[in-house]
Amino acid sequence: MKNSNTCVYEAVALKKDYDDGQVQALRGVDFRIEQGEFVAIIGSSGCGKTTLLQMLGALDKPSTGSLHYRGSSLPDLADPSVYRAREIGFIFQSFHLLPTFTALENIQIPMLESDLPASERRGRALTLLKSVGLEHRARHFPSKLSGGERQRVAIARSLANGPSVLLADEPTGNLDSENARIILDLLVQLHEEQKMTLVLVTHDMIIARKAARNLQMLDGRIVFDGIPGTAAPSP
Amino acid sequence: MTFFSIVVRGLTRRPVRTGLTLVGISIGIAAVVALVGISRGFEKSWETGLKARGTDIVVSKMGSSLAPKPFSDAVAELIVKLPHVAAISSQFVELLSIESSQMMMLSGRQWDGYAWKNLKLISGRMPLDDKEQAVVLGQTAAEVLKKKIGDPLQIEAAELTVVGIVDGGAVVENGSAILALPLLQEIMSEQGRINVIDVRVTPGTSEDELKQLCVEIVRAAPDVTAMAAGEHLSNSQSFRMVKAMSWGTSLLAVLVGVLGVMNTMLMTVFERKQEISVLLALGWKPSRIVRMVLWESALLGFLGGIAGVLIGVAGIKLLQNTEAIRGLLEPDLGIGLLLTSIVIAVVVGVMSGLYPAWRSSRITPALALQG
Ligand SMILES: Nc1ncnc2c1ncn2[C@@H]1O[C@H](COP(=O)(O)OP(=O)(O)O)[C@@H](O)[C@H]1O
Ligand SMILES: [Mg+2]
């Protein structure tokens, strides 16, 4: 992967069909995302936001079109799990912490795919847990944590292997406004302090306005790409 | 936290289901240990019995039952004349229910045969001659029948007196009631008939000469079979069947365990579909998921194997002390059988995990973002 290139993602005529073409979730999208950008993907439910994020995370392959990550074609990766483990941090709407593992253990799970020796995993997990302000919750299971705390643990987990891109699908969708603000501040801080590329799906316009750039989708297409508030979102 | 602790956590998250699965597999393994241990023990105690009597060749007429069929004692005269034969000892052996014992080995021994010589008196005396209505008991037989010197012992219609208690140097011997051949022939109404001839060869007889002697015995008396002591039981048709049946039965029990493990692992994979897709999204390789499932089912097998061996050994110890079995056999619970059983259990675990593991490899990471 070419590091000199500041272009992180480049999509050209990207399409994704489901059920043998009966559902067209992406109908041809084109965009570039540069290193260190904060992009919010917005749009009404069912317009293809999650599908797009799945493509960016190499969780699924596009039907046609091309998608490159730092010059490498994502659908052609020999082992997408290496890309997911090293380059990407995923944050989900419903947190997806593993229920049988403590907060500290959950953060260590992605590290099993890294070169980090077992002795250092715990220490790194503890540092990450501290960075989200939850070191006192290390031994708690997810069921004992509040929604906001769960998402903070999930953010710590997404950072486990030091990714360069964070992909978040409605990370505040299951949270009250106070916790939503904490999570958003945390993500913005990571973006600003660690120069991380942040791609965030949301339908909350307040959150979208915090991003430097909005991609508005409608029915599988990108209908607006620019600085938030510079164009009225079309109905 | 290591990969292995994740494997263990997979089993402890549903303790009841894991426990029930372990019960299933451990019963199968316990059956292997118990049945195979008993059939091997039977073979071994028979062999040590022969060794204790100092027998090199056993001549008998093995039918389809475990007890040999009677034949004329004239056969003994023919055998004694053959080269390399040092001594013979004719016997009439029978498994009978005697008084409180369900099954006891009765051994009527040729009065001047060598098979009497290896019995060590613990108390009392040997019979005076082959006319005295007397019986000596192996020490286990005496315990089972609750007899002491001077007590009467009812065998079928006859009433004999216990005159001695002996140590025969082997489980089969110690579990037997031993009396003079003519007495038992009379009791069984089999006058002039015997069903086992123990043959002792002259010192220095080679393996080849031993085999040759067996051939000659059969040539002299076409009705019987002659086998070197070591191969006697394993060559017997009926014993081979018992052995095959004990393996068959226990493997059937193991099969039930296989289905249990497979079912449990399939349920585990299905209910963890979403979790597995999250692990994939976090960067786990599909091969790691497959390994996780296989290790879990192998661990189930291993734990079930340990439990099964413990249950099997405990069961056999219990059985061994019941009146019905005591003195008849000494189960062979060698470390070899126990290790084999655990290996079987682990193999069973891995095999049962193959299909669930394959299913787990089909789970897509895209599921992580859906719902
Ligand atoms: N696995 C799938 N199979 C079939 N249809 C799907 C699948 N995933 C998404 N879709 C459809 O694709 C469209 C876009 O879905 P999605 O990307 O989840 O939208 P959003 O995240 O914007 O709400 C929807 O119509 C949805 O029903
Ligand atoms: Mg969505």
As for the ipTM of the complex, it is 0.95
Is residue B56 assigned to a domain?
A: no
- Is residue A232 predicted with pLDDT exceeding 90? no
User: Token match 């009527």: residue?
Assistant: B108
Question: Domain range spanning residue B173?
Answer: 62-223
Name which of A81, A98, A99 is nearest B280 (Cβ-Cβ): A81
Model confidence at A234, pLDDT cuts 50, 70, 90, reads low
DSSP state of A103: H
Q: B54 CB near a chain A CB, below 8 Å?
A: no
State both tokens at B74: 């004239």
The beta-carbon neighbor of B284 closest among A81, A101, A108 is A81
CA nearest A42: which of A197, A206, A189, A166?
A206
Are B184 and B149 within one domain? yes
- Contact yes or no for A113 and B370 at CB 8 A: no
Residue with CA closest to ligand 1 atom 2: A18
Average pLDDT of span B193-204: 91
Q: Does some domain include residue B111?
A: yes
**B154 dihedral zone (left: phi>0; alpha: psi -120 to 50; beta):** beta
Element (H, E) at B206: none
Kindly indicate the confidence band of residue A3, based on its pLDDT and cuts at 50, 70 and 90. Answer: very low
B80 and B161 in a single domain? The answer is yes
Number of Cβ within 10 Å of residue B87's Cβ equals 17
Closest chain A C-alpha to B299 CA, distance in angstroms = 18
Domain shared by B111 and B150, yes or no: yes
Q: pLDDT grade, residue B172 (50/70/90)? A: confident
Tell whether B118 and B218 lie within a shared domain: yes
The alpha-helical segments, DSSP class H, found in A43-102 are: 49-56, 80-87
Q: Is the CB of A19 under 6 A from ligand 1?
A: yes
**Same domain for B254 and B174:** no
Residue B185 forms part of a structural domain: yes
**pLDDT tens-place string over residues A151-203:** 999 999 999 999 999 999 999 999 999 999 999 999 999 999 999 999 999 98
Question: Which one of A59, A105, A161 has the shortest CB-CB distance to B1?
Answer: A105
Interface of B with A in 351-370 (CB under 8 A): 364-366, 368-370
Residue B235 has pLDDT above 50, yes or no: yes
Residues B101-124 have pLDDT tens digits of 878 889 999 998 888 988 999 999
How many domains does chain B contain in total?
A: 2
Distance of CA B244 to the CA centre of its chain: 11
Residue B3, chain A, CB below 8 Å: the answer is: yes
Considering the domain boundaries, does residue B333 fall inside one? yes
Interface contact A59-B366, CB threshold 8 A: yes
Cα gap A122→A128, rounded to integer Å: 10
pTM strictly above 0.90: no
Name the average pLDDT for chain B. Answer: 89
Please check whether residues B68 and B214 belong to one and the same domain: yes
Residue B50 included in any domain = no
User: By a Cβ cutoff of 8 Å, what residues of chain A touch chain B?
Assistant: 50, 53-54, 57, 59-60, 79, 81-82, 84-86, 88, 90, 92, 94, 96, 98-101, 105, 108-110, 112-113, 118, 121-122, 157, 160-161, 169
- Whether B239 has a pLDDT exceeding 80, the answer reads no
Say if residue B225's pLDDT is above 50.
yes
What are the Cα distances from residue A215, in Å, to A220, B312, B366? 12, 68, 22
B231 belongs to a structural domain:
no
Interchain CB distance below 8 Å, A53 and B283: no
Are B210 and B273 members of one domain? no
Taking the Cβ of residue B279 and every Cβ of chain A, the question of whether any pair is shorter than 8 Å is answered with yes
Per-window interface: B 291-330 vs A, CB < 8 A: none
Q: Is B55 a domain residue?
A: no
pLDDT tens sequence across B290-315: 999 999 999 999 999 999 999 999 98
As a whole number of angstroms, the distance between CA B76 and CA B221 comes to: 9
Distance, C-alpha B57 to centroid of its chain: 22
